[in-house]
Each structure stands twice: as C-alpha cells, then as structure tokens.
Amino acid sequence: MNIILITGGPSAEREVSIASSKSIVKALRDLGHDVKVVDPINGDEMVSEEEIFKTGVKKESPSLELLDEIHESSNKKILDCINSEIFDNTDLAFLGVHGKFGEDGKLQTILELRGIKYTGSNVFSSALAMDKDISKIILTSAGIKTPDWIILNRNSSKLDLSAISESILNSIGYPCVVKPNDEGSTVGLSIVQPDVEDVQLGKSIELAFSYSDKVLVEKFIKGRELTVPVIGDEAYPIVEIRPKGGFYDYEHKYTKGMTEYFCPADIPQEIEKKAKEDALLAHRILGCSVYSRIDFILDEKNELHCLEVNTLPGMTETSLVPKSAAAKGMSFNQLIERLIELSLQKF
C-alpha cells in the first residue's frame, strides 16, 4: 500500500511524535509498504525524511517559545500540506502524531475532507478523549471512578488565587495535580504539595494556562500506575509503571532507565479483570476505535481510578502499547499491521 506516515505537527509532543515515527516507518517498510514521511508544518514542501528525523526527544518538553514560533505559521501550512500533491494516490495515512492537532480530531477532520483513510479513532471520539474535563464527566456517568476535579477557565472572572485555593481545600484537598485540559505526556503538569501550596499553586496554574485555555485541578491519588491498551475490542496485558524517584513525568517517560515497566502487571486477578473491564468500557463509551490506552491509578485500598484515555498512544521504544503487545506474543511489526487492518475496516 501507499502509506503516508504523518509525524511531528505543532503540538508540545512533536518530538515524541517524531520518535514514535522512527519505529513505525521501519515496521511499515519491513511489512512491504511504500512509505512517505511527512511533517505537515512544512506545508506543501516535501522535506527529506532525514531532515524530519534529525530531532530527538529531549529530557524536557519543547519550550513555549519554540511552540509559539511553530503555531504562528502552522495552520495554513498544514492545510496546504494535506491538500497538496503529496497526498495524491495515498491508500492510508498512518498517524504518528500526538497531542493537540493530531489527537484532538483536527487532523482527522482535514483528512476526512480530503477523502483519505487514517489510523485510529474518528473525529468525534478523538475530540472527546482529548478534553479531560468532558471525558471525565462521561466516564463518571458510566460508573468508572476517576479522581475528583475542578476546572479553571482562562476567561473566568473567578481566577482569584485565594478563592481557587479555598475551592481546592473544600472539594479535593492537597496534594493536587494541576494540568492543561488538553495536553498529553504530562506536558504542563505539576503536583502541588500541602505545605507549599501558597508558593506552588500560582506557578502551577500559570504553567498549565500557558498550554491551554482550560486547566484541570485534580485530586492526587497515591498508588500504583497501571495502563491498559485496547486493540480492536480486546483489552491487552496490563503494564505497571514504576518511575525511579519522583513521578511519571515527561523526563521519566522518555529517558531510558528512569522508569521500570512490568507486564503483565503483578496484581490480583480480580483487579486485573476490573481494570480490563473499565478500560473496554471507557474505550467504547468515548467511541474510540482501532486502539487506545487507558491509564489508571490503583490506590492503597486497591481501588482503581481512571486518569485518561489516549487515542494515539506512543510508539517509541519505551512506549507502553508495544510492551503490552509483546507480552501477548505480538511483535512490533505485527502490531503495526494489526492497526492498519483495523483502521481500514473502519471506513
């Protein structure tokens, strides 16, 4: 097949996207597909694969200055790219992008308007899952436990720090997690501790607002981090994530040796069953298709709390979906071929 691998993009996760795509392109070619690698922020100019892939994942997420520079010129260039001859005679677009634009339904919308098939979930389910506030409301309505939260809007007249702190104390308490409502890879995320909230809270909210107009303040749940990939309509082996010091932040996610992974996770059978049931329900109720990854915290009372649903989970060498697939006896190449098969069935 003629496949275009879309990578990079204008989000804070563009470096992770490029790292994922390095693994994906090799698998696609090993499987016999004719592949072009495209970063849509380059517009209708066909930039060489070597130039696109020269970027590596750094220990910190991209600077806001770099993202602002990319955003200033990206929208028209992205439209020019998808509408150009580059995408002529394309059988499938494999989405190697993550974060805003790639994972929130915008890219899916443009591809559908151009009549190009693509991997992963559709426009609506991508948008739902990317909006943490809306997805948590839907998950809660389905009986899936998720940490209590409050929402802050940039344009609200109630963005008074003392009032926000009082609201946190009265509803979710400290410590709490402050994060952008529509980012991934822990970009812009902070944990505010009770002994220093006066210092940390304002800075954490400011950081989160630098990435989004809507900020989620969530109850911090202490416990074990678990994730459940769903491929097709099947929950795959659960992965436990154990960061070495600190929490599972951007640096721990994308730096070799800073996190340990255990798959299948060593958890009681009834918890495994419950996690897989909740993951499948979350996947279905948000309308996801092809694949997703659902993240949980297992607290000290052995209760599961769903954190979020990822519709385009990472595919780097340290990523979680490939680890889970391997535990099921599926090679990386087989995983990629399965995602292609499922995506084509969707259209």
**Cβ-based neighbours of 342, under 8 Å, separated by 6 or more:** 231, 232, 289, 290, 291
Whether residue 259 contacts residue 243, with contact meaning beta carbons closer than 8 Å, is answered with: yes
In the set 308, 319, 324, 343, the catalytic residue is: 308
| 3-class SS of residue 296 | strand
89 carries an active-site annotation: no
In the set 15, 103, 183, 295, the catalytic residue is: 295
295 carries an active-site annotation: yes
In the set 8, 11, 13, 204, the catalytic residue is: 13
Q: Where are the alpha helices (DSSP H) in the chain?
A: 14-30, 49-53, 64-82, 106-114, 123-130, 132-141, 161-171, 197-209, 250-254, 269-285, 320-327, 332-345
120 carries an active-site annotation: no
In the set 254, 272, 289, 319, the catalytic residue is: 254
185 carries an active-site annotation: yes
Whether residue 201 contacts residue 164, with contact meaning beta carbons closer than 8 Å, is answered with: yes
- List, as one string, the DSSP characters of 54-118: T----SSPPPHHHHHHHHHHHHHHHHHHHTSGGGTT-SEEEE---STTTSSSHHHHHHHHHT--B
Amino acid type, 204: S
In the set 126, 293, 324, 343, the catalytic residue is: 293
In the set 23, 204, 289, 310, the catalytic residue is: 310
In the set 314, 319, 324, 343, the catalytic residue is: 314
In the set 11, 61, 126, 185, the catalytic residue is: 185
2 carries an active-site annotation: no
13 carries an active-site annotation: yes
Q: What is the side-by-side order of every strand in the sheet holding 34-38?
A: 34-38, 2-6, 92-95
Catalytic positions are 13, 185, 254, 293, 295, 308, 310, 314
